[in-house]
Every structure is written in structure tokens, then in C-alpha cells.
Amino acid sequence: MAKFYITTTLPYVNAPPHIGFALELVRADIIARYHRLLGDEVIFNTGTDEHGLKVYRNALKENKDPKEYVDMLVKRFVSLKSTLNVSYTNFIRTTDPHHKKAAQEFWNRCSASGDIYKQLYSIKYCVGCELEKTESELDEYGRCPIHPNLEIEIIEEENYFFRWSKYQEKLLELYSSRPDFVLPSFRMNELRNFVSSGLRDFSITRRREKMPWGVAVPEDDEHVMYVWFDALVNYISTLGWPEDEKKFKNFWPGIQIAGKDNLRQQAAMWQAMLMSAGLPCSKQILINGFIESGGHKMSKSLGNVVDPTDVVGQYGTDALRYWFAREVPAFDDGDFTQDKFAFAYEGNLVNGLGNYIQRVSTMVKNYFPEGIARPSTEDLLKVALKRGDSEYVALEYFIKRIIAKEYREAMEKFELTKAIDKIFELLKELDVFVQVHEPFKLIKKDKEKAKVILWNLCYGAVGLAWLLIPFLPETSDKIFDIFGITEKNPPAGGPKWDNFKAKEHKALFPRIEK
Ligand SMILES: [Zn+2]
């Protein structure tokens, strides 16, 4: 059994779950479910980043112990599991005792490589980002463009630094030896340019007297680790590193998925840290775009922040998953508006997929309540699909050998939009099949032929359900159930479904009153 590991970034626990993180989580889930479908053993990691100045200050403001405070905040992230129907296996909190020990061991290894040193430190710091800002990253007012309402803080003190500059050449070598290390390629180019322009060592600690809410630095009580340094280690501490060597070797390196604002941290900072600790770099890093709303970056002041939980409340989990997979470009920015969402929902789910399943199941239920057994190959070929000018293929072959192959190729490249497009291409083909053969008319003239047509349409419905397993797991389950199929996850070589029966069911995607 192949081993597969995928992880999201850990969102900062202080802010409520953002639609961009929901996108990241759902996409990681689609990839994880796809690998389970292939028969892989999958570890799918997510969690929360819980240290740092922002949490500490807010906890003080609310008169709470920081741990008590994050215990309360983390619930909003834990509940995403059911809201978005994600199948993660690991949920790591950077306040977990094991993670803290792993972060300390990681520190010791970087230190043993000579990559950690102490220096006087004076930087401009955005509390909102929990990041140092260089002059060029600030706007014309000297403020962080992401947090224009916060004052930039000047911090001057002695701190520990990580020797990032030492890894410039090694990182560039990594990127040239593995050109698809970061997907999409335009992000890879952006990263290469950034690293080529030179890396500055970065501070990895804060003084405990000012900010005690972090992982203790080994053998120095005056410092705690900077939130980024400890949080990045989660990708391996979740695998039991350092003590569970077997599990670590089996699953690391893995696939990481992140938003575009996280490119440098994931693909340059973290990779240099891994090199320093003598560990293999990640396998691949997938970069998502942002989700805007009505052409604008979402912001409280514009009042256009979309809460994923609200969308699910109105349309259901699979509608949002569908939107993430198909309507947001695989590696680029998406735009959420109520109108666009409603339009895609109506057109593709209510009138498309839902309607097809309803029509087919109703015909089968009415005309053949006893069910339909597999027709002879000869009969199946008589109603084959026309492909190109003179090529005909049986629908079963079309699904297993043509659509599923193209779908797999897209999935292997993490082109989720392309893969789900294949499912809707199949749906279109099935709709044409209904139009060409008109089984509702044929039933009066040639019941035997109508039966063959309907068997094909059932096969098509279940074929859709099969390909939908990673994308819309709940809808997929319902379709299998409607047509009486229990063998959902067929063995290698593709599905072989023989007998179908249809049952009464509620609309898969109810019409939403506006
Ligand atoms: Zn900021």
C-alpha cells in the first residue's frame, strides 16, 4: 500500500476561519480522498497555529490565560470538519506537548548545524501578520498594506537568528532540480526571483519578558521561539517526528497546500529549516490564489467578507465544495458573489447533476421497479456513443477508459478544476444520450431497448458518483444508494456494476428561493 501525506498550513487561531482557508482544507480533502480511492494509506493533516503576540495580547485583554483562550478559539476550526465534510486524520495544535518537544528538538538540530546565532535586532514589525516588514513591504504611510489600521512596531533587542542566507544556493539548486516543486509554475518563478535576490537571516525568538506565549528555547530561559519557527515544524511533528522514525520515513516528504501569501514561508523558509535540520525537503507545494468578493479583497471595512459556514447553511456542504473545486481556478484567484454562486448552483447542480439523477431514477422506478440486470454486450454495443466521425464506444468503456483516464491525469497534476470538468463532460454526454434515445418515448414502442438505454443511464449515474467520491462525497453516497450500489470503491481495473434498482429520493440539490 502506497503511503500518501498531505497537509494544509495551520491557520492562526486568533481570527475566525476564513473562506480562503476553507478552500485550502477542501482541496486538500479532495486530494486525500482521491488517494484513498487509489488504495493509498493517507495521512491528512491540519490544525491550528496557537502561539504569538496577537493571541497573547488578546488573551490578556479578555482576562484569560492564553491556553484557556486558545482552547476556546480552536473550536471554530474543529467544527469545520463537519461543516465542510473533510476527512483529515490529524488535527495538530501547536500547543500540544509533543509538538513543543519536537520544535525544541528541531531547534537543537539547526543549532548543531551552526545555523542559529544571537544578534542585536531592530526591526519593523506588524502585529497583524506576526511578521517583520522590510521598507519595501510597507505602504506609503509606513504601514502594513494588509493591516493599515495597525501601527508598525519598532522592536530593538537581542534575539536569535536563523542563518537563512546560507541556504540561498541550496534552495535555488532544489528549485532547478525539481521544476514542479511549487505549482503553479508562475509561483515557482516568483519564488525563484525572490530567493535569487538574496535572503536575509530572520529572527526566530522573542524575549520572554515581553512575550512569554511561545515554545521555550532550549537552554535559554530568556527567549521563546518566534511563532513561525515553531508552527512550521508541525508538518513533521504531526507524523510523530522525531521519535517515531518509521512513521516519519513512511510518510515524509509530503504534499503541502497553502495560499499565495504563504509562498515564501512554505517554499523557502521552511525548506531551508529542513535542510538545516538534515531532513528531506517537502515533496511538492501547491499554491492557491485568494478568493475575492465582487472583484475586491475581502475586508471587514468593505463588509464583503464571506463566511464559509453561512454558505453551507444556505446551500449545503457539497455546493460549496463544488464551487471550490470547479468555479475557483485551480491555482489562481477566485471571485465569490452571491449571484455567481447561485447561478453555478442552479445551472450545474440543480438543473444539471440533480436533474439527471432525478429523471433517470424516476424512469427506472416507474418502468422497471424490479430493477435492471446487465444487458448482453451485443445489446450494449447497439446503443454505443458516437465519438468523432466514425468511432463508437460503449458507455461503460467511455467512462472507465476515456473519462476516468483523463480525470486521473488531471488529478495527478492537482488540476482539480480540470478533473471535475471531466465529470461534467460525462454528464453532458449522458444528457445527449437521453435526448438521442428518448427512453420515455421508447418505453411504449420497444420496452427491451428502453431497458438497455436505462441500464446505460444508471451506469452513467453511478459512474458520476464514482468520480465524485473525492469532490462531493455526500452526493456521491446518495447516488450510489439511490441506484442500489453497495460496492462504491471498486478494485483496480475500474468498476463493474451489473444490477441497478432505483428508489424514491429527495432532490439532491433543492432549489433555493431567493
Ligand atoms: Zn500586517
On the question of pLDDT at 424 being above 90, the answer is: yes
Lowest mean pLDDT among 154-158, 159-163, 223-227, 228-232: 154-158
Residues ≥6 apart with Cβ < 8 Å to 85: 29, 317, 318, 321, 473, 474
Percent of the chain with pLDDT over 90: 86
pLDDT tens-place string over residues 312-352:
999 999 999 999 999 999 999 999 999 999 999 999 999 99
Q: Which residue has the higher pLDDT, 492 or 296?
A: 296
- 78 DSSP 8-state letter: H
> In angstroms, what is the span from residue 440 Cα to ligand 1's centroid?
61
pLDDT of residue 491: 57
Q: What does the H/E/C string look like for 224-247?
A: EECHHHHHHCHHHHCCCCCCCHHH
CATH 1.10.730.10 fits 338-482, yes or no: yes
pLDDT of residue 514: 66
- Write the DSSP assignment of 21-76 as a string of letters: HHHHHHHHHHHHHHHHHTT-EEEEEEEEB--SHHHHHHHHHTT--HHHHHHHHTHH
Provide the residue ranges of all domains of the chain, joining segments of one domain with +. Answer: 338-482
> In angstroms, what is the span from residue 284 Cα to ligand 1's centroid?
27
> In angstroms, what is the span from residue 144 Cα to ligand 1's centroid?
5
pLDDT of residue 492: 60
> In angstroms, what is the span from residue 50 Cα to ligand 1's centroid?
17
> In angstroms, what is the span from residue 371 Cα to ligand 1's centroid?
61
pLDDT of residue 441: 97
pLDDT of residue 490: 62
> In angstroms, what is the span from residue 134 Cα to ligand 1's centroid?
12
Question: Half-sphere exposure (CA, 13 Å, Cβ side) for 337?
Answer: 6
pLDDT of residue 133: 87
pLDDT tens-place string over residues 282-305:
999 999 999 999 889 888 888 889
pLDDT tens-place string over residues 117-151:
999 988 888 989 888 888 888 998 899 998 999 99
> In angstroms, what is the span from residue 313 Cα to ligand 1's centroid?
31
Question: Do the Cβ atoms of 191 and 264 come closer than 8 Å?
Answer: yes
Bridging pattern class, strands 41-48 and 90-93: parallel
> In angstroms, what is the span from residue 119 Cα to ligand 1's centroid?
24
> In angstroms, what is the span from residue 128 Cα to ligand 1's centroid?
4
> In angstroms, what is the span from residue 25 Cα to ligand 1's centroid?
23
> In angstroms, what is the span from residue 273 Cα to ligand 1's centroid?
23
> In angstroms, what is the span from residue 259 Cα to ligand 1's centroid?
16
Q: What does the H/E/C string look like for 98-119?
A: HHHHHHHHHHHHHHHCCCEEEE
On the question of pLDDT at 493 being above 80, the answer is: no
> In angstroms, what is the span from residue 61 Cα to ligand 1's centroid?
20
Percent of the chain with pLDDT over 70: 99
> In angstroms, what is the span from residue 478 Cα to ligand 1's centroid?
44
Average pLDDT value for residue range 481-486: 95
On the question of pLDDT at 236 being above 70, the answer is: yes
Helices then strands (H, E): number in the chain? 24, 17
